[in-house]
Amino acid sequence: MDTAAINLKALGLDIAQVNLITRNDVKYGKPDPDLFLAGASKLDVPIEECLVIGDAIWDMLAARRCKATGIGLLCGGYDTGELERAGALRVYEDPLALLQHLDEVASRP
């Protein structure tokens, strides 16, 4: 929670207003899918309808293990091939590139 609070503050977000799941809320961390399953449950959304966006192979492995769609970002130090082999459907340079190509991974309402 300490790390989450630092990151939320840097983003200008109030921790009381964010629907947050941290490693403290689950028994096992990544590559086990517990974090993503807990998040989907908290949002009351089937995990199969969720996108897991991450910058590490551990994020993609956990996404695959819970049947979520994994989307990789290159800003974590892993290359495209590593993220794809770990299960990423698509890989983007950074969050802005993902935003610019959101139509490739997200369905419209």
Q: Give one DSSP letter per residue of 26-65, joined into a string.
A: SSS-TTSSHHHHHHHHHHT--GGGPEEEESSHHHHHHHHH
More confident residue, 38 or 17: 38
d(CA 21, CA 12): 18
pLDDT bin (cut points 50, 70, 90) of residue 108 is low
Query: Above 80 in pLDDT, residue 105?
Result: yes
Q: In what order do the strands lie in the sheet with 88-92?
A: 51-54, 69-73, 88-92
Mean pLDDT lowest for which of 12-16, 27-31, 40-44, 82-86? 12-16
Please give the share of the chain, as a percent, with pLDDT higher than 90. 74
Domains of the chain: 2-104 (3.40.50.1000)
